Amino acid sequence: MKRAPTHSYPGINLGERHASAHKATEVVTFGFWVFLMSDLVYFGLMFAIYITMIDAQAGGPGPHELFDLHSIFAQTLILLTSSLTVGLAMLALKYNLPRVRIVFWFAVTLVLGLSFLVLEVRDFMAMAEKGGVPQRSGFLSAFFGLVPLHGLHVAAGCLWLIVLGIQLRVMGMTDRIKSRVVRLALFWHFLDLIWIGIITIVYFGGLAYG
């Protein structure tokens, strides 16, 4: 039975005849979008909490004492580059390049993701040395409720990269794995988006109004 090709996901080489694979990918990707929407609400609320608590410094250290924009700049570059490398993995999938290309770009992304985390943790430690711990004030609680939440997402993304990299080798380029690559890429771009929000609202906003 030949159905009209439904190229819902032309980018991931599911094959023209695999109508059911297209449909399955369509459903699962849409579901993932809905999940991201829900996750976005989490972040949105944490941003709102941060904004309401920017003045709740209770005599403790504030943004000017604590934020290191050089490090933030480096983290931003690293994270944006990692979005590019995830994109390259997607291109490798689209053009049916050898599996190893995808794994390679995953590995680069993983290194970038881990570097980001290392820098972030270093920042937190530097803040702690200046008395910037979450126990110090409502403002710092809000900061540490939001920024590490993003960091935790990045860590989860790193774990996912590792697992999916292994699955690419073990299970091969099945339709299910291809659709997982799509979702991981979506997730990673989502984290980038949140990070843009964090530098704008948490760091720049904090310095401007804190």
**Residues found near another protein in the complex (CB under 8 A):** 26-28, 30-31, 34-35, 37-39, 41-42, 45-46, 49, 52-53, 55-60, 134-142, 144-145, 159, 163, 167, 170-171, 174, 176
Q: What is the rounded distance in angstroms from the CA atom of residue 52 to the CA atom of residue 64?
A: 18
CB of 93 to another protein, least distance (A): 18
User: Given the complex with another protein, which of 40 and 199 has the nearer CB atom?
Assistant: 40
Q: What is the rounded distance in angstroms from the CA atom of residue 162 to the CA atom of residue 106?
A: 8
Tell me which residue has tokens 């995830």: 86
Label residue 86 exposed, middle or buried (CB < 10 Å: 0-12, 13-18, 19+).
Answer: buried
User: Given the complex with another protein, which of 24 and 114 has the nearer CB atom?
Assistant: 24
CB of 168 to another protein, least distance (A): 12
Contact (CB, 8 A) for 198 and 144:
no
CB of 7 to another protein, least distance (A): 17
User: Given the complex with another protein, which of 13 and 141 has the nearer CB atom?
Assistant: 141
Q: What is the rounded distance in angstroms from the CA atom of residue 113 to the CA atom of residue 161?
A: 10
User: Given the complex with another protein, which of 8 and 71 has the nearer CB atom?
Assistant: 8
CB of 202 to another protein, least distance (A): 16
Tokens of 198: 């964090």
User: Given the complex with another protein, which of 22 and 83 has the nearer CB atom?
Assistant: 22
CB of 76 to another protein, least distance (A): 25
Tell me which residue has tokens 């059911």: 20
Q: Nearest-CA neighbor of 173 among 105, 99, 87?
A: 99
